[in-house]
Structure 1
């Protein structure tokens, strides 16, 4: 089941629930006006669909995402996803993905740490920093090995990408493309992403399978159904390219997300919002 652990490392996006990257130039200036609310969100995770041959009989887990900061002081994100897989023979495995990051929009600097534990043993660790400019990203890795990598292009870090996407949604845009980096996997990979943004929803908000008390605490009116597909540029040989994975969610104008679906092609994981703590906003000094 180690392949599943590798897949979860790819989630440090954004994950899922952050989703994005530190842009530079016009996009960064446009995104700066989007206020995000500091919060801690807890999601119960379960197996949605699994195709024949995946070997997955059951999956359950919990995901905790915590966000704080502002555009002047920087943004801190901690993320933990503990999941229990069971295969068709009854063999079980517990995967514990822990990530933390600090993003500084003013300087274009990003720090990241990602650790994967399998049955309580540390299996993988990625640690490093990245420095962005208008047309280049400079990555300095400490783990899994020390090395430096330069990648050309305008590349986003998670929170600034989220803000730019919300900015696009408020303008009525239905499609948003970006190159993104979050330090996932080996810490030196940039993904090409395509986000499809649905029509604006406002007014009464149905909780559905989510906790209605937590949904009420979100405190934002406008929201959009969003699906982001992540592509590995190294696999693009021309023609149609299949995404490595997709994430679908309901995105609120203050950055909170719910109704999660993580789609890995041959299996899906669904997440329901079970608790939400909203912290006071902090102003730039």
Structure 2
């Protein structure tokens, strides 16, 4: 039975959903290029599969809500549900529920996630991570209470997207960085390589996304982006194969659409079906 594991689902959904700008370079809400807090709904379906995958069908939905403001930080809450059927007729429903808060300038990252498999709690992670002199100080509450130091300068999700959009805006086609997102028992660091395509003006053709939702994004410039994820542990010699890849259209106001989640032996397509703008939290005087 093929299983879309928590780590893969969380990392992919995090990047797909939290395509936002946060950090020292962020501009005040309402200014050109500012983030647009919003609620987005994506329908998921099987795009392609190989016989080795043993997958006969996949369907699901991702609901993502991004709130907050540039001065207080941003909160993300989303639910990522997939129903996977194999060739033997077995069905597995995975329900990933997460919430997180990232402080301004990527100083600290709080995260809570729960994974249910066929309505039974399978995994739960709860913790807080903070940048500390070329390392991440991690205070985990679940799955077990412990304090861990992760070496290196891994970026938190919204901090990573800040750099990604900066690179896109400056016409740089490649961006390499490590990411910590709280997945895989809260101690996983991914190495990533992002390939950024040429800038496109306006919202672009809706294709399989909902035309009204695409229109709601507005006439912002955007870029096609593909991010490859690699295991940050183990032997790094020789040519490496990514664990998975995420492709999407990234808009400068922090919204993404036309998702393609490539797990290697099968692919999921995520279509934007609903988009609701939310007012940003204003900065205090």
Within 5 A, what are the aligned runs for 1:197-276? 197-203=196-202, 205-276=204-275
Question: Contact 1:20/1:161 (CA < 8 Å) preserved in 2?
Answer: no
Distance in 2 separating the partners of 1:263 and 1:151: 28
Distance in 1 separating the partners of 2:19 and 2:126: 19
Deviation at 1:211, TM superposition (A): 0.3
Within 5 A, what are the aligned runs for 1:121-136? 121-136=120-135
TM-score (norm 1): 0.92
Question: Contact 2:259/2:271 (CA < 8 Å) preserved in 1?
Answer: yes
Alignment partner, residue 14 of structure 2: 14
RMSD: 2.0
The 1:276/1:174 distance shift into structure 2, 3 A limit, reads same
State which drifts further: 111-120 or 158-167. 158-167
Alignment partner, residue 3 of structure 2: 3
Alignment partner, residue 70 of structure 1: 69
How many pairs does the alignment contain? 280
Deviations 1:186-223 (A, max 9, x none): 10111111110000000362101100000000124200
Distance in 2 separating the partners of 1:141 and 1:12: 22
State which drifts further: 72-81 or 201-210. 201-210
Alignment partner, residue 54 of structure 1: 53
Deviation at 1:29, TM superposition (A): 2.9
Deviations 1:32-88 (A, max 9, x none): 676211001100000111111211100111111110112211110011111111110
Deviation at 1:284, TM superposition (A): 1.9
Distance in 1 separating the partners of 2:203 and 2:183: 37
* 1:188 aligns to 2:183 (yes or no): no
Question: Contact 1:220/1:252 (CA < 8 Å) preserved in 2?
Answer: no
Alignment partner, residue 102 of structure 2: 103
Question: Contact 2:7/2:183 (CA < 8 Å) preserved in 1?
Answer: no
Question: Contact 1:21/1:180 (CA < 8 Å) preserved in 2?
Answer: no
Give the one of 29, 32, 37 matched to 2:24: 29
The 1:272/1:110 distance shift into structure 2, 3 A limit, reads same
Deviations 1:233-262 (A, max 9, x none): 213331111111111000000110000011
Partner of 2:207, secondary structure, is coil
Deviation at 1:19, TM superposition (A): 5.2
Distance in 2 separating the partners of 1:20 and 1:221: 14
Deviation at 1:3, TM superposition (A): 3.3
